[in-house]
Structures are given as structure tokens and as C-alpha cells.
């Protein structure tokens, strides 16, 4: 069983520190050129609290908030930051599950993300199917939403064992 303290450090390192360092690395050149687009990846897991995902959701909420701040602060410099908040995409994380109506293929999802980054003002779920997930997370009773997402996560977890 992994050390919980190390798991927290790893999550913060991957989801927060890497975003800060990459932004610190690329922002000066964007300011110099007076233009740029930063695409940060958060998660639909930060829309509403989900079982056993407190640290993950909190770090992804940071990515969303940080992206909004950067976009606002550097708008006059011609720099836009967009936060993408996906739900389920066929990838190693979802054990390359077969894409379906809700679970998008990585290729299809990226194509949608690239299209919305030109029109989105600050954030997007990346595709309209994930927008529906986001709406559910913000509008359904928490217990209903958390239970439905929890069932999907449990299916993924069961396939990993």
C-alpha cells in the first residue's frame, strides 16, 4: 500500500508544481512577444466533491483558479490561459476503455479541445458531452452526482485489480 503522505506530495507535484514551473518557464517569452495561449488541464473532478478524491479535486481546482488568474492578469499582454476540465477520456488512466458516447477517444477529445481553445474565454470541459457532465455536477443533488461518478470510478478500479 502506498504511503499516503507520499501520494499527497506526488499529486501536488504533478498537478500544481508542474503547472507553476511551466508557466514560469514560458510566460516571459509570451510577454516579450505580446501574445500566447496557455492550455492547462484540470479535471471534471474539481466541479463537485467526489468520494476519495479530495486531494486530487483540490489540486485540480487550483489549476482552474490559477488559469483564470493568469488569463486575467496577462490579458493586456495578449496572453490567454484556458483551463480544460475533462471527465473520462480513453487513456491509460481509464485502462484504454473503448470510447463511447460519454467516454471520448483521446484523438477525438484533443480535436475538440483545440477547437474550443480559440473560442473559450477561460475554461471548457473540452466537448459537449463533458459539458453535460459538468452541468450535472453543478446542478444535480450532490449525492446523486457523486454516486454516479463513484460507480464509474469503481468500474475502472475493478478492472485494474
Catalytic residues: 56
3-state secondary structure 24-60: HHHHHHHHHHCCEEEEEECCHHHCCCCCCCHHHHHHH
* Secondary structure of residue 90 in the 3-state scheme: strand
Cβ atoms within 10 Å, residue 52? 10
Q: If we measure between CA atoms, which residue out of 24, 72, 16, 17 comes closest to residue 42?
A: 16
* Secondary structure of residue 105 in the 3-state scheme: strand
Q: Which three cell numbers stand for residue 84?
A: 480544460
Amino acid at each position: 500500500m502506498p504511503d499516503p503522505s507520499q501520494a499527497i506530495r506526488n499529486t501536488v507535484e504533478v498537478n500544481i508544481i508542474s503547472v507553476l514551473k511551466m508557466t514560469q518557464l514560458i510566460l516571459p517569452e509570451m510577454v516579450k512577444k505580446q501574445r500566447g495561449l496557455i492550455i492547462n488541464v484540470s479535471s471534471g473532478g474539481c466541479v463537485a466533491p467526489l468520494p476519495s478524491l479530495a486531494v486530487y479535486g483540490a489540486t485540480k481546482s487550483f489549476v482552474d483558479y490559477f488559469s483564470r488568474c493568469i488569463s486575467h492578469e496577462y490579458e493586456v499582454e495578449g496572453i490567454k490561459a484556458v483551463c480544460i476540465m475533462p471527465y473520462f477520456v480513453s487513456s491509460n488512466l481509464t485502462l484504454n476503455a473503448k470510447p463511447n458516447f460519454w467516454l471520448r477517444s483521446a484523438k477525438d477529445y484533443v480535436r475538440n479541445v483545440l477547437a474550443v481553445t480559440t473560442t473559450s474565454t477561460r475554461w471548457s470541459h473540452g466537448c459537449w458531452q463533458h459539458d453535460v457532465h459538468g452541468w450535472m455536477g453543478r446542478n444535480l443533488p450532490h449525492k446523486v452526482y457523486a454516486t454516479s461518478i463513484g460507480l464509474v470510478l469503481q468500474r475502472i478500479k475493478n478492472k485494474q485489480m
